[in-house]
Amino acid sequence: MKFCDVCGSYMKMTARGYSCPRCGNEVRADEIEVRRMRDSPPERVYVVNKSEDDSLRVNQTCPRCGHHEAFHHISMISGEHAGVKQERTVEHYRCARCFHSWTRS
**Tens-digit pLDDT string for the chain (105 aa):** 678 888 888 888 887 788 898 998 888 876 656 666 677 677 777 766 666 566 789 999 999 999 999 999 899 988 888 888 889 999 999 999 999 999 998
pTM of the model: 0.48
Residue 98's pLDDT is 93
CATH, domain range 52-104: 2.20.25
Q: Which helix (H) or strand (E) holds 14?
A: none
Judging by DSSP bridges, how do beta strands 56-58 and 101-104 pair with one another? Answer: unpaired
Bridge partners for 76 per DSSP:
89
Strand 17-19 with 70-81, pairing: unpaired
**Residue 99 C-alpha from the chain's centroid:** 22
